[in-house]
């Protein structure tokens, strides 16, 4: 006798509450692996799925490659059987819930590359069974879940909200943040139907501290884009302000610090050498692309993108001017980069402005070396660079450029030993020296 939809829903809900539901996560990167571990932490048996066999093999030995997932924690779950990794997608047939956390890059034309999401959804559709919860976490444009995933999942005859449940929940991971991680960052969830939202909220509330339901998948998709577009545009504003202040001879950092004393109506953002990471340089262009499909021009986004994209060149011009003021041409100069990760205290170089700065410097004839305790080597433009200890390079380089302000950076050593310092992060704020040139 076939089981009706209400019974399927009740069975899945009971399994989620009792932590007996079999949880799956497709994509074991900086979003998927921490999520998988949080569910293992509360007793679920989690299967992580990734097509890279090297990742799978490493995880199954209990060794983490994600900074925010301690190896000791992962090993405990592997040994207890609460976490396993596989590249065999057929295991989806055994799962009760599947979270899709795969990359969503931009093509060179700045339109979304949905190939990873489509490939994952095709596999889920192949093994979809009644009473299953599917959640897309990959950042994407509004309408993706409804327009792309739903038809693929319903093509076998199962109906959303009755036979299976489909939600979108935007990832909000901030790599390297010691205070806010997967467990305590509020989780937004929007379902294709009210029943889907209810199931998604129930699922996440088992492992995460706070869950925020919204009315639809499109709202949830737009939430993520608003968050990162807000940051991108405000960073673009202060970057443009930094360019203005340089021409006017005004200290932009002092301006921002003074403005930040206002207790209402102002939120400080800070200039820098350019945007980095997977989210802020990329996500707003999903919204821009989608808005164009709707006949609306996203002018703020496009303008902020142009300004932020100019910052590496602005930094190189700053370096060239600083060297020139010290009677040294950029061509043939030894420029040492302090920090190449895209943000402080992480081991990720995705979209890092340091990469563009190094390439621009090399194009102008500079000899470039770098120091980064998190990035031991870097392949760029066909050649391999290796991190060199600051003690070996700072004193001999013609200029040290602080691109990433890691906490481990010995600022006092730089002041005492470097010939010239270009500080793009205002990390040398405490030092008053003629050898320091600020952004």
On whether the CB atoms of residues 374 and 346 are closer than 8 A, the answer is: yes
Phi/psi of residue 386, nearest 5 degrees = -120, 145
Question: Can 11 be counted among the known catalytic residues?
Answer: no
**Residue 85: which residues within 8 A CB-CB, separation 6 or more?**
28, 47, 48, 49, 50, 55, 56, 59, 60
C-alpha separations of 19 from 203, 204, 295 in Å: 9, 11, 46
For residue 133, what are the β-bridge partners? Answer: 97, 165
Find the catalytic residue in 167, 245, 279, 399: 279
The residues assigned a catalytic role are: 279
């Amino acid at each position: 006798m076939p089981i009706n939809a209400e019974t399927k829903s009740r069975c899945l809900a009971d399994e989620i509450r009792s932590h007996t539901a079999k949880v799956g996560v497709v994509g074991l990167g900086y979003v998927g692996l921490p999520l998988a571990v949080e569910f293992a932490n509360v007793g679920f048996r989690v299967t992580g799925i990734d097509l890279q066999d090297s990742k799978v093999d490493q995880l199954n030995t209990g060794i983490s490659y994600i900074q925010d997932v301690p190896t000791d924690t992962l090993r405990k779950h592997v040994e207890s059987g609460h976490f396993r990794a596989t590249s065999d997608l057929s295991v989806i047939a055994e799962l009760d819930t599947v979270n899709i956390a795969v990359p969503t890059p931009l093509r060179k034309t700045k339109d979304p590359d949905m190939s990873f999401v489509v490939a994952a959804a095709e596999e889920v559709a192949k093994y979809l069974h009644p009473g299953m919860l599917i959640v897309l976490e990959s950042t994407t444009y509004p309408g993706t879940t409804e327009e792309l995933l739903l038809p693929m999942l319903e093509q076998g005859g199962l109906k959303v909200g009755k036979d299976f449940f489909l939600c979108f929940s935007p990832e909000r991971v901030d790599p390297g943040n010691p205070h806010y991680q997967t467990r305590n960052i509020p989780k937004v969830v929007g379902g294709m139907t009210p029943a889907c939202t209810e199931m998604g909220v129930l699922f996440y509330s088992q492992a995460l501290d706070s869950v925020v339901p919204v009315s639809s998948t499109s709202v949830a998709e737009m939430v993520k884009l608003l968050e990162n577009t807000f940051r991108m545009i405000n960073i673009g504003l202060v970057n443009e302000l930094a360019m203005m202040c340089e021409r006017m001879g005004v200290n932009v950092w002092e301006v921002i610090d003074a403005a930040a004393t206002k207790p209402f109506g102002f939120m400080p953002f800070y200039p820098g050498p350019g945007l980095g990471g997977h989210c802020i340089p990329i996500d707003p262009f999903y919204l821009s692309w989608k808005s164009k499909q709707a006949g609306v021009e996203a002018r703020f986004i496009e303008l902020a993108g142009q300004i932020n994209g100019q910052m590496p060149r602005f930094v190189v011009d700053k370096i060239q001017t600083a060297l020139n003021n010290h009677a040294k041409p950029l061509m043939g100069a030894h420029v040492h980069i302090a920090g190449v990760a895209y943000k402080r205290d992480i081991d990720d170089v995705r979209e890092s402005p340091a990469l563009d700065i190094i390439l621009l410097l090399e194009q102008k004839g500079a000899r470039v070396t770098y120091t980064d305790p998190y990035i031991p080597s870097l392949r760029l433009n066909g050649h391999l660079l290796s991190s060199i200890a600051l003690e070996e390079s700072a004193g001999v380089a013609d200029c040290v450029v602080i691109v990433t302000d890691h906490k481990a950076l010995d600022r006092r050593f730089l002041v005492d030993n470097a010939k010239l310092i270009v500080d793009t992060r205002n990390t040398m704020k405490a030092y008053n020296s003629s050898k320091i040139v600020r952004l």
